[in-house]
Amino acid sequence: MKNTVAILEKPGKMIIKDVAVPEPKDHEVLIKVGDVGICGSDVHGFQHGPYIPPKDPNQTIGLGHEVAGIVEKIGKDVTNFKIGDRVCIEPGIPCYKCEFCMEGHYNVCPDVDFMATQPNYKGALTNYLAHPADMTYHLPDNMSIVEGALVEPAAVGIHAAEMAGDLLGKKVVILGSGCIGLMTVQSTKLMGASEIVVIDVLENRLKKAKELGATAIFDGRDGELVDKVKAVVGEYGADVVFETAGAIPTAKMALQLVKRRGKVMVVGTIPGDTPIDFLKINREVSIQTVFRYANDYPKTISMISKGDFDVLSMADKYFDYKDTQEAFEFSVNNKSDLIKGVIRVAKLD
C-alpha cells in the first residue's frame, strides 16, 4: 500500500507528499479514505493558516476532518469492525478523563485531539488514516461514502438545534446559509419550528435553503431587512436566532432580530472581538455558544439513512485528490457557485 498526505506548505499552497501507512494501535482501525468534505475552517486554514496556530513553526499542517471510507485493517482489541466495513468517523479524540468528558460533554474536552487543528494538526486528506474504533461508526448499506463524510457537518446542525431547546411551533432566524446554516435549517424543521427565516448574501445558498425547508429567505444587504424579517416572525422578533456565518456583522444583526427572552445561538466561529450592545438584549435574552457536537453521530446517521435529512444535494462540486490545490482555490474564489465541495481521495462506491 502506498500512502500520501496533503499538507499546507504555506497559506495558499497545498502539496501532496509520500508518508508511511500508519499502523493501527490495538484500539484503532485503519481506514482507506474515500471522500473528504471541505469545511469553512479548512478554507480559512488554507488562506490564513489554522485558527489556532501551532506553537512549533515547523509543525506539519493537515486539512480536512469530514471523512468516510472503508476499514482496511483492525487493531487486536477491536471487535465491532471488520475489514471492508464502510465507516465514518468523529474527528475528535477526547481524553476520556476530565470532568467534561466524564459528564458526557467530550466536545469541550480541553485536551481533545481534533483533526486539522491542535495539538497534532493531522488532516483527513490522506489515503490511509488510523482512528480509534470508539469514534468510528458503521454506515448503513443505503448510505454512500460521501453521505458518510457529511455526517460531521450535519451533526453540528443537529447539536445546535438541540441546544436551543424546544423548537416546536417556534419562529427562528438563521444567519448564514453555508453548509452549517443549511444543516441547521433541516434540524430546526425536523424539531418543529413553524417559521424558518434564512438570511444570506449569496443567491445560490438562499435558493438551497428554500429547497431544504426555509419558509422565508432574505438578502442580508437589504436596507429594510429587520422590518421585513419581523413582518414574518412577529413585531418583537424571533424566538431563536442562529448565527452560523461566523462573522461580526451577523453576530450584531442577531441582537436586532431576537425577541425579548429569546435565544441567540452562536454556531459560527467568529474571529476577533465582537462588541455586544447590552441595551438591545437586557430583556432576559440568552446568548449560547455551540461547539461541534457530542453523542450526536448515531442519530445523525439514522436520520440521513431514513431520508429525513438531506446532505447529498449540498455536495455540488467534486474534486480529485490530486487536484487538492485547485479544490481550495475554487472554494475561496467561487463561493457564489459552490455550496459544498468534496475531495474524492478514492472512489469507493
Distance CA 123, CA 45 (A): 11
What Å distances lie between residue 203 and 23, 33, 288, 329, CA to CA?
46, 33, 28, 21
In the numeric block, which cell numbers belong to residue 166?
A: 424546544
Residue 251 pLDDT: 94
Q: Which of 343, 344, 340 is nearest to 153 (CA)?
A: 340
List the beta bridge partners of residue 31.
Answer: 71, 129
| Cα 170 from Cα 16, distance rounded (Å) | 48
pTM: 0.96
Q: Across-strand partners of 4?
A: 18
- 299 burial class (0-12, 13-18, 19+ CB within 10 angstroms)? middle
Q: Coil, helix or strand for 149? A: helix
Q: Of 13, 37, 7, give the one whose Cα is nearest residue 329.
A: 13
The grid coordinates of residue 261 equal 427572552
Cβ(212)–Cβ(220) below 8 Å: no
164 burial type by CB count under 10 A (0-12 exposed, 13-18 middle, 19+ buried): buried
Q: Which of 160, 154, 177, 172 is nearest to 305 (CA)?
A: 154
Q: Check residue 57 and give its pLDDT.
A: 86
CA separation for the pair 213, 206 (Å, rounded): 11
Q: Enter the C-alpha cell of residue 12.
A: 495558499
Residues of the chain below pLDDT 70:
none
Per-residue pLDDT of 138-156, as tens digits, reads 999 999 999 999 999 999 9
Check residue 84 and give its pLDDT: 98
Query: Position of cell 484503532?
Result: 28
Return the bridge partners of 10, or none.
13
Instruction: State the chain's mean pLDDT as an integer.
Output: 96
| H/E segment holding residue 188 | helix 179-190
With a CB cutoff of 8 Å and minimum separation 6, the contacts of 78 are 24, 26, 27, 28, 29, 133
- Domains of the chain and CATH, by start: 3-150+311-344 (3.90.180.10), 156-289 (3.40.50.720)
Given a contact cutoff of 8 angstroms between Cβ atoms, the answer to whether 154 and 146 are in contact is: no
Cα separation, 6 vs 20, in Å, equals 13
pLDDT of residue 327: 98
